[in-house]
Amino acid sequence: MNQYIIETKNLTKKYGEQISVDCLNLHVPKGKIYGLLGRNGAGKTTTMKMLLNLVKPTSGDIILFGEDFRKTDSKTYYRIGSIVETPCFYENLTAEENLKILARLRGQHRKDTVEHALSVVDLGSKSDKAFKDYSLGMKQRLGIAAAIMHEPELLILDEPINGLDPIGILEIRNYLRNLCQENRTTILISSHLLSEIEQMADIIGVMQEGRLIEEIDMDRLHMQNRKYMEFEVSDVNAAAHVLERNFKLSDYTVAGRHLLRIFGSPDSRSEINKTFVENGITVSNITVCEEKLEDYFKNMIGGVGVE
């Protein structure tokens, strides 16, 4: 039986006439990274706020660690680390000073908790700088350090990699993956950076206008994603003609002035290549690819507004 750390049943949030979250049924299994995807305004932040008891649901249920959220007490929230919207810190204090205050407030912590959390996000050496002088990326890192400091069983992270540079993104991604693999930490993460979610998540949920329109395992998605061959040719029209005439192929698209994308088994690529050449078409490159999450996401919700 699946053990869900987060489960919602018909979770709904209305602000007046506005339905921000509409009958949401999320299933976040233990020890997995769940990527919540959706365009701006899809309802991701509102969902996370309801899970964290920061916003009261209009109707529906939340089950956290197997317990109805109405029965959970404040101790449940000690088991969770989160970043929702911009994390707040004391402007004039350093990272270390800020985290020490948080550690004291939260009670239980190891002696090296603050030091460890700062080293994980690589902020240790900059600890003499006041928070107000931090770059956006450094502020994000400190937010992550604060969220992971008490070694929570569940992390809820709303767009945690916003503002990080590519190396920072890579480091945080690897760290989150390790947390999940080594400590079986469960992570719910939202991002509009589809490529990041693709490389990190075990499961994705896609939200649109408050509704969850898809919840799928990445493994299943990879199986479902279509494979294709991409041919770089001198003349796409002539190449398309050859495909239809010689191979009776119609499942292809013109992906650029010299690019032809042919769906189906890549086994036929040498035969296709040979026939192109015999018909006077120069082939300068052939690649075998798989549709990316971005293609899947675009197909599903129209693709506007995603990077």
Enumerate binding residues for ligand ATP (CB under 6 A).
Answer: 15, 18, 20, 38, 40-46
Least distance in angstroms from the C-beta of 305 to ligand ATP: 9
* Minimum CB distance to ligand ATP, residue 213 (Å): 13
CB closer to ligand ATP, 267 vs 307: 307
Smallest gap from Cβ 121 to ligand ATP, in A, equals: 23
- Backbone phi, psi, residue 108, to 5°: -65, 125
How many CB atoms sit inside 10 A of residue 28's CB?
24
Give the nearer residue to ligand ATP in terms of CB position, either 94 or 191: 191
State in angstroms the smallest separation of the CB of 73 from ligand ATP.
Answer: 26
Residue among 48 and 63 whose Cβ is closer to ligand ATP: 48
CB of 188 to ligand ATP, least distance (A): 13
Residue with Cβ nearer ligand ATP (15 or 90): 15
Residue 213, token pair as written in the block: 């329109």
User: 3-class secondary structure for the chain?
Assistant: CCCEEEEEEEEEEEECCEEEEEEECCEEECCCEEEEEECCCCCHHHHHHHHCCCCCCCEEEEEECCEECCCCCHHHHHCEEEECCCCCCCCCCEHHHHHHHHHHHHCCCCCCHHHHHHHHCCCHHHCCCEHHHCCHHHHHHHHHHHHHCCCCCEEEEECCCCCCCHHHHHHHHHHHHHHHHHHCCEEEEECCCHHHHHHHCCEEEEEECCEEEEEEEHHHHHHHCCEEEEEEECCHHHHHHHHHHHHCCCCEEEEECCEEEEECCHHHHHHHHHHHHHCCCCEEEEEEEECCHHHHHHHHHCCCCCC
Determine whether 298 is exposed, middle or buried from the number of CB atoms within 10 Å of its CB (0-12, 13-18, 19+): middle
Q: Quick one: 159 or 232, whose CB is closer to ligand ATP?
A: 159
Work out how close the CB of 189 gets to ligand ATP at its nearest, in angstroms, rounded to a whole number. 13
Q: What would the two tokens of residue 37 be?
A: 């995807």
Q: Which residue, 94 or 208, has its beta carbon nearer to ligand ATP?
A: 208
- The minimum distance between CB 74 and ligand ATP, in angstroms, equals 23
Q: Which is nearer to ligand ATP, 43 or 205 (CB)?
A: 43
User: Cβ of residue 7: shortest distance to ligand ATP, in angstroms?
Assistant: 19
Q: How far apart are CA 105 and CA 91, in angstroms?
A: 18
Residue 42 or 144 with smaller CB distance to ligand ATP: 42
